[in-house]
Structure 1
Amino acid sequence: MLTLIKQATVFAPRILGVCDVLIAGGRIVQIDNKIDIQGSQLSLEVVDAQGRYLVPGYVDSLVHTTGGGGEGGFNTRTPELDFFDAVRGGVTTLVGALGTDASTRSLGDLFGKAKALTNDGLSCYMYTGSYELPIKTLTGNLRNDIMFIDPVIGVGELAIADHRSSQPTANELARIAADARVGGLLSGKSGIVMIHVGDSSRALDLLFQVQRDFDVKLSQFYPTHINRSTSLLDHGIEFTKGGGTIDFTASTTEHILKMGELRASHALALALEKGAPDHSLTISSDAQGSLPHFDEHGNLDGLDIGSIASIHDEWVRAVVDHNVSIPNALAAATRNPARVLGLSHKGGIAVGKDADLNLLEPSSFTIDSVMCRGKWLMRSEKIVAKTAFHYTRR
């Protein structure tokens, strides 16, 4: 089927103005001021999108697709991601990760969930490894995981500056980065190293040490949770000016904000004001991850669950509350993560890219419709996608 979206205001994420967008074979094949198709023998769906914003589907670089948590005992393990939550949140591409718990959670389960979400209609990838060292892998070798296992695009989220980490040394981290890079080079993938950054005052010091002491560039690392504090944000801005990309976590709670964390939207605005390159900033949800509250002694005193809808909420809040331009705010949820993840066919509206699209109501930015790889998953705020467990009674 051909799909022709008519007269939408297109943010690619840069603004293209009012355009028609033609989709075939799951990809965007034409963008023009006006597209007319006459005499076609193919089935054609025409969508009147006048007065709507058409934006890329969101690219979420950190989702605990099989659940996370567990810091408060087995009963605090969080549930796995619901496919329909991702659709409602406008996320069409996501990367699954293990976190603190790589004992009761497994890479095999993560692989199965990535395949399931992709089969159901999204585009799901994964990181090998977890918080801990030595690195856990599927094949027994980090480089081979990236090279031979299709959904694996990098390693992470490896923890530093956190009391829950394995306290890696610069030598260990340099070796991991080198193996991931070579695996990426040989397979045409990013080979990125996603780094969980805790609240220790050491912040990103270990990453800068690796850059100084070894032939490893900052761009090989992708640190997340950089909005934990203003001091960590300042380290992050320095990191971007050295060629790296930093990630802000959209999921949060009022309790965590009172402890000094910045909203992702606020951190994005501050980073842009302080001169961070606009292409080096991303927002991820950390969905299904636990949002633990620790007291001053490091004891757990509360727990919440990250939401995949938070990406949409935070880039919109950046526009509405912090006067960030729509293209810059939207890029942090689309183009920029797609770039650092090596997914050149994702994160934008351009000829040849996957037709991953969201239609938004412009006054409220409400997500109206969601398309992934040319197929509608939600129309007029109603889910139209079905999974293997979705049955329609006749």
Structure 2
Amino acid sequence: MDISIKDGTIVTANDMFRADIGIRNGKIASIGHDITGMENIDASGKYILPGVIEIQSHFEAAFGNTRSIDNFFKGTQTAACGGVTTIFDTVIPKSDESLLEAIKNRRQLLDAQAAIDYSLHLCLPEAQENFLSEIPQVLNEGLPSFEAFLCSHAAELVHQDSSLLELMETISKAGGLLMVHCGNQALLQQASQRYPLEDPLAMTHYPQLCTPQSEAEAVYRLMMLAHSTPCTLHLNHLSTRESLTQALQHHPLQSRIYTGTDLHYLTHNENVYKQPDARNYTVLPPLRSQADQTCLWKGIQAGTIQTLSSNHWPFTREQKKLGEDLASIPAGFANLELLLPMLYHQGVRSRHIDLMQLVAVLSTNPARIFGLSHKGSIAVGKDADLVIFNPLLKKTLSSSNLHSESDFCLYEGQELQGYPEMTLSRGRIVCDNGKFTGEQGAGQFIARSI
């Protein structure tokens, strides 16, 4: 064996057991006992987890007149140091690009910079005939997942029902999956005009950009369309009890409807918009109530929420001062490096979920839903994307000891117990005790089918 990881507790979505793992040529070659390799890593007292799959990250991503602060190399460094071994980026074609040209241009950036493996979602601004006709070719390129917005700071990305239905039908015929961002664009625009930033209390009204009712209404509308076309859907960033309830009420659709939420909806609530630094917490959908948090934790526990992402969209404090109205304040923050350790600390240690449920929402379910057949689990033949996780390791969080270029941290000063010690990407050690050890450009594009 090239590498042996010895005496750790292997955790999958269905089981936990002590064993060694043998790695050869970037793959898991054996699981058992008394396995030795050219390099032997002692994992006694630690968990061995599948590498995390981040389904929504935004590197070098435009927001209004600015861009997220992490480039692809820095972003994938950040990912690796948090136990993330595969990321998804989003391609939004420019007006003068075909879909295939947009994919090629984005891949050139990622191929040169990505330190871990990656794949892509394709966001279609509207159901233009030239875009629709290219969708089968996009699937042939190994990209079966698409994105659509019902509510966004960028109005040009928002679909009306007729456009959305046409897109769903085309993707369904091609055998793809559509990820949908739910909300109501008219209500977002109304709230943004109603509460001007000149008002000292404007930030307290930030949740009005996308209320729980408007998110739930969008889910209901989407479910009505889903009854008329057999498109597989993933509902992104669900944040409220009402929207999750709407999604679960349509039992005939459950075999092709997946739901996901984000880390920050489990850890923060809407009271932050009353704080002096409220702009640091802007995100769409906005942060919600404690009751919504409780419902989301129960959804992960019950398996009715299948995926969890960081929705990493990092900005600096100066960038957060931008924006002419509530909707144009850069929405998002650096969250990627803390996705795994924070879910362990707040979820597993607080007994909201168990370790196997953590593995399910961070690794196994994303791999299954999005067609990453060689990732997401610990089994012979899978890629050796692994995390050695120390449940006793403590870390006090600060933007200064994390790897993103963002200069603030949502969890500043908080002490975590449980943190990744080592991350392996296809058998290569890319992070060792908090130090990035990977290489720029070593990540590979992953073609998929679902």
Q: TM-score, normalised by structure 1?
A: 0.78
Q: Which residue of 2 aligns with 1:332?
A: 361
Do the aligned partners of residues 104 and 234 (structure 1) sit closer, same or farther apart at CA in structure 2, a change above 3 Å counting?
farther
Which structure carries more helix by proportion? 2
Q: Is the 8 A contact 1:87 1:370 kept in 2?
A: yes
Q: Distance in 1 between matches of 2:3 and 2:15?
A: 21
Structure 2: stretches of 5+ with no match in the other structure:
184-209, 274-280, 393-416, 443-450
Q: Which residue of 1 aligns with 2:207?
A: none
Q: Map residues 1-394 of structure 1 onto 2, 5 A cutoff.
A: 2-32=2-32, 34-37=33-36, 44-70=38-64, 74-75=65-66, 78-81=69-72, 82=74, 83-98=76-91, 107-117=103-113, 120=115, 122-130=116-124, 132-134=125-127, 141-147=134-140, 149-150=141-142, 152-156=143-147, 158-161=148-151, 164-165=154-155, 166-184=157-175, 191-198=176-183, 199=210, 200-201=214-215, 202-214=217-229, 216-217=230-231, 220-227=232-239, 229-238=240-249, 242-243=254-255, 244-251=257-264, 254-255=272-273, 260-261=287-288, 266-272=294-300, 276-277=302-303, 280-288=305-313, 299-300=327-328, 303-316=331-344, 317-363=346-392, 364-387=417-440
Do the aligned partners of residues 110 and 285 (structure 1) sit closer, same or farther apart at CA in structure 2, a change above 3 Å counting?
farther
Q: CA deviation at 1:249?
A: 1.6
Q: Is the 8 A contact 1:108 1:138 kept in 2?
A: no
Q: Give the partner amino acid of 2:375.
A: K
Q: CA deviation at 1:380?
A: 2.7
Q: Summarize deviations over 1:194-246 as a string: whole Å, max 9, x none.
A: 111233252212321122223x15xx11111101x332232244468723211
Q: Is the 8 A contact 2:153 2:328 kept in 1?
A: no
- How many residue pairs match? The answer is 359
Do the aligned partners of residues 236 and 270 (structure 1) sit closer, same or farther apart at CA in structure 2, a change above 3 Å counting?
farther
Question: Aligned to 1:376, what secondary structure does the other structure show?
Answer: strand
Q: Distance in 1 between matches of 2:237 and 2:320?
A: 13
Q: Distance in 2 between matches of 1:319 and 1:265?
A: 15
Do the aligned partners of residues 205 and 164 (structure 1) sit closer, same or farther apart at CA in structure 2, a change above 3 Å counting?
farther
Question: Aligned to 2:165, what secondary structure does the other structure show?
Answer: helix
Identity of aligned residues (%): 19
Q: Give the partner amino acid of 2:84.
A: V
Q: Is the 8 A contact 1:246 1:282 kept in 2?
A: yes
Q: Distance in 1 between matches of 2:158 and 2:221?
A: 10
Do the aligned partners of residues 303 and 193 (structure 1) sit closer, same or farther apart at CA in structure 2, a change above 3 Å counting?
closer
Q: Is the 8 A contact 1:239 1:245 kept in 2?
A: no
Question: Aligned to 2:359, what secondary structure does the other structure show?
Answer: helix
Q: Is the 8 A contact 1:115 1:124 kept in 2?
A: no
Do the aligned partners of residues 299 and 260 (structure 1) sit closer, same or farther apart at CA in structure 2, a change above 3 Å counting?
closer
Q: Is the 8 A contact 1:5 1:22 kept in 2?
A: yes
Q: Distance in 2 between matches of 1:225 and 1:24?
A: 37
Do the aligned partners of residues 136 and 326 (structure 1) sit closer, same or farther apart at CA in structure 2, a change above 3 Å counting?
farther
Q: Distance in 2 between matches of 1:59 and 1:137?
A: 32
Q: Is the 8 A contact 1:3 1:46 kept in 2?
A: yes
Q: Which residue of 1 aligns with 2:412?
A: none
Do the aligned partners of residues 380 and 75 (structure 1) sit closer, same or farther apart at CA in structure 2, a change above 3 Å counting?
closer
Q: Give the partner amino acid of 1:180.
A: I
Q: Distance in 2 between matches of 1:347 and 1:154?
A: 17
Question: Aligned to 1:6, what secondary structure does the other structure show?
Answer: strand
Q: Distance in 1 between matches of 2:331 and 2:161?
A: 32
Q: CA deviation at 1:314?
A: 4.2
CA RMSD of aligned residues (A): 3.5
Q: CA deviation at 1:135?
A: 5.8
Q: Distance in 2 between matches of 1:137 and 1:59?
A: 32
Structure 1: stretches of 5+ with no match in the other structure:
38-42, 185-190, 390-394
Q: CA deviation at 1:181?
A: 3.8
Q: CA deviation at 1:60?
A: 0.8
Q: TM-score, normalised by structure 2?
A: 0.69
Q: Distance in 2 between matches of 1:137 and 1:127?
A: 18
